[in-house]
Chain A
Amino acid sequence: MSNAQIEIQLIASLVAIACAIPGTFLVLRKMAMISDAISHSILPGIVVGFFITQDLNSPLLILLAAVTGIITVILVEYIQKTGLVKEDTAIGLVFPVLFSIGVILIAKNANDVHLDIDAVLLGELAFAPFDRLMVSGVDIGPKSLWVIGCILLITITLLIAFFKELKVSTFDVGLASALGFSPAIIHYGLMTVSSITTVGAFDAVGAILVVALMIAPAATAYLLTTDLKKMILLSIVFGVFSAISGYWVAHWLDASIAGSITTMLGLLFLSVYLFAPSKGLIAVMYREKQQRTEVSLLTFLLHLGNHQEQEERHVNHLNEHINWQKVRSKTVLDLALKNNMITIENDIVSLTKKGNEFTTQAISYIITNEDSKIEHMKDDFFLFRG
């Protein structure tokens, strides 16, 4: 690996971490679309800042752009408060206007400004190592690395200092307010950090990828954990993994780095969405199938408990009597046998002592409206699940 390659991966990773932290809270606050709005509407701030400073990494430019981000949030909230349109409509109204002001400003001054729309939308990560930070003649690394490094440091400090406040105001705004943690301060603090991070990351990865890096890792982590700290850590891990693997995918395919990183984020989310142990699609489908079979089993056992007459308990009559197809009857019959709930003699099915106990217990839970306890009971009775 060359120096430039290492630097690009380092920048991409720091950007991913800096995005994942505010991103986690945006996802939990159901404000994912706000990050999309901010990432687009900071464009006029960047352009005006660039006219003044002629430097994409100047702190003044970052500040100006961040202010535009905050203005976006305030405008959206103001329009929403009139009660005439909903929040998503308000977002859709505000950011295209601000973004297009930026586009016009660039187009009008195209000759003087080294800034083009492609770079704004997709970033120029590959060129980041060319813009060096020189301190008294000594090269101390790419400018964007320093910029995003500083932003990340501030973000982490704020996260550690205000973790408790962020948590309570995200979970329960009313309580946070009653306890004296002004939700407005925390809200605008988070919006400021999101805006600054967006600007800092903008140069490296562009407006579209910033959104992906904020939302996708957090959304992926959300499917895997039930602990806020772990969710933040996992978001960071997913972000960094996508940044580095995306870089190498781009390298092999000779394609856009930003595009490849976003694709990796998408693939990562898709695989977690499918395979996550408890919230994943496959796990959910498996659980539903299991539940269905076990409910059938209970119905079957109830039927046996209710009927002493032999013809009601004959194996072949089962599908006619409780209206099941052959496969279903066989599955249920097998499950009951495996769990020692029934015995079969001369094709006549009878409840065992254990089967009887289970059924009686389950009925008593059902009639006292405590169905939820049946789940726990299954752990005691079942050797094999459905």
Chain B
Amino acid sequence: MDKIAVKIDDLTVAYNYKPVLWDIDLEIPEGVLMAIVGPNGAGKSTLIKSILGILKPIAGSVSIYGKSYEKQRSLVAYVPQKGSVDWDFPTTALDVVMMGTYGSLGWIKRPKQKEKKAALEALEKVGMLSFKNRQISQLSGGQQQRIFLARALVQNASIYFMDEPFQGVDATTEIAIINILKELRKAGKTLIVVHHDLQTVPEYFDWVTFLNVKKIATGPVKDIFNDDNLTKTYGINYKVSIQE
């Protein structure tokens, strides 16, 4: 774990002149499964969106393996918050997963048999193959999240950014998703996950970043996931017993 996958320098992002992220310096080593934790409004989603160029920072820079994101798009996959899209959109599960291949196709070129095959494989990996022709509004919350995960898998990236992939999913799906994430880490991928449930951090992740407008701490879960950092991040006397 000596290579740096994502490097952020002095990043500041503001909405209407109000900073939501303030002077963030962060290095994410290659091959970690990292949770970003922090209270609501801490800028967790904003951090991911700024790394991916969806939001424009007012200061600072981001690099992916030493180069700007624009040059490294093909190395990066993104799972947005489930609530950020309209699930009544007229399309099928397979079609949504196919969207993951659009990046490698570029403008105008259309997905062909090869892209479809990749999408079907990704659907199988998340256990959703039998739902491939289902309209997306007919899927449960957990199934929708799996579709989003499959769409990221099909991008065949080195770094995965996920915005609350466990939000509103059932226990079975949560286990299925975390198993896939752990498998990806084993394959040497880097995973950055916005996460809400503090109880599961030690069990799921090996790296953690505490964020609340400013970066509070970042490092291995076993070293820094403690009451001190939780209190600094959440502002109240926080106690979480870490199971050995």
Residues of chain A having any CB pair with chain B under 8 Å: 28, 30, 83, 161-165, 167-168, 170-175, 177-181, 222, 225-228, 230-231, 369, 372
Contact = CB atoms under 8 A, between A and B. Distances in A.
Interface in B69-109: 70, 73, 76, 78, 80, 84-86, 89-92, 96, 99, 102-103, 105-108
A179 B73 contact: yes
B90 A179 contact: no
Contacts of A225: 90
A167 B107 contact: no
B234 to A, nearest CB: 27
A369 B172 CA distance: 12
Interface stretch (B47-55, B173-181, B192-200, B212-220): B47-55
Listed from nearest, the 9 A-B pairs whose CB atoms lie closest are: A179-B103, A226-B135, A174-B80, A178-B78, A178-B52, A177-B54, A172-B85, A171-B89, A226-B90
Contacts of B96: 171
Nearest to B70: A180
Interface string B99-143: 100110111101100000000000000000000000101001000
Interface residues of B, number: 32
Nearest to B107: A165
B78 A171 contact: no
Contacts of B237: none
17 contacts: A163-B110, A164-B102, A164-B108, A164-B110, A167-B99, A171-B99, A172-B84, A172-B85, A174-B52, A174-B84, A179-B103, A180-B70, A180-B103, A226-B91, A226-B92, A228-B90, A230-B90
A175 B78 contact: yes
Contacts of A167: 91, 99
Contacts of A170: 89
Given A171-B99, A172-B84, A178 B53 contact: yes
Contact of A171 (B52, B54, B91, B135): B91
B40 interface: no
B89 A174 contact: no
A122 to B, nearest CB: 32
Given A172-B80, A181-B102, 4 more contacts: A172-B84, A174-B52, A175-B80, A178-B53
Contacts of B85: 171-172
Nearest to B45: A174
A173 B70 CA distance: 17
B241 interface: no
B16 interface: yes
Contacts of A369: 170
A164 B53 contact: no
Interface in B202-244: none
A168 B76 CA distance: 17
A99 B135 CA distance: 41
B91 A178 contact: no
Nearest to A24: B90
Nearest to A162: B108
Contacts of B73: 178-180
A337 to B, nearest CB: 32
Contacts of B111: 164
B150 to A, nearest CB: 13
Contacts of B92: 226-227
Nearest to A226: B135
Contacts of B52: 174, 177-178
A318 to B, nearest CB: 35
Given A172-B80, A180-B70, A180-B103, A231 B90 contact: yes
A178 B16 CA distance: 22
B53 A83 contact: no
B102 A179 contact: yes
A124 B16 CA distance: 47
A175 B76 CA distance: 11
B84 A177 contact: no
Contacts of B102: 164-165, 168, 179, 181
